[in-house]
Amino acid sequence: MRVVHNKIYEFEIENLAFGDLSTESLHEAFKDGRVASHLLERQLAVWFPELTHVKGCKFHDHKGTDGALYDAKNFTKNGLKFMPSNQRGAGRAFIVETAHEKAKKLIYIACDIVDFPRVRVKFADGIDLIEEYPTCKIPFGHREKLFG
């Protein structure tokens, strides 16, 4: 499959197993972006062979065959946050200039995992996202606007 910006892709994760956990238990766990992100980043490179997963990289998750840099972010029941990871969490501050500078260099891979095992994927330019969402937060209420 080829990367096309602003196109909505839809996938169904069918093969999921871990120890003796039930499928339902795993589906619930994978609705949490902290759980899903590590494996979904690798799966994206399978669905989109022009992407190479960058292991352990803190700036981006994938590199395209054209040299473009991609960062995967999960849309969950809390929406989607695309500010740098070091600006998220307790005791951390959102620095708009730094966040926007990074976003302008990236293509974001927005992954809707709310209805996991159904996963919707959209590639969006960071510059377009910060224009519409300058706080680098897309609220849950904008889910269908983003993926519709």
pLDDT tens profile 83-99: 987 777 666 788 889 99
For the entire predicted model, the pTM comes to 0.94
Identify whether the C-beta of residue 10 lies closer than 8 Å to the C-beta of residue 113: no
Alpha-carbon distance of 11 to 116, in angstroms, equals 10
Alpha-carbon distance of 58 to 73, in angstroms, equals 13
pLDDT for res 85:
77
* High-pLDDT (> 70) share of the chain, %: 98
pLDDT for res 88:
72
Alpha-carbon distance of 122 to 56, in angstroms, equals 23
Fold of 8-13+20-147: PvuII Endonuclease; Chain A (3.40.210)
pLDDT for res 90:
60
pLDDT for res 20:
96
Identify whether the C-beta of residue 27 lies closer than 8 Å to the C-beta of residue 12: no
| Residues with Cβ within 8 Å of residue 26, at least 6 apart in sequence | 16, 17, 18
Which stretches in the chain have pLDDT values below 70?
89-91
**Backbone φ and ψ of 47, nearest 5°:** -65, -35
Identify whether the C-beta of residue 16 lies closer than 8 Å to the C-beta of residue 117: yes
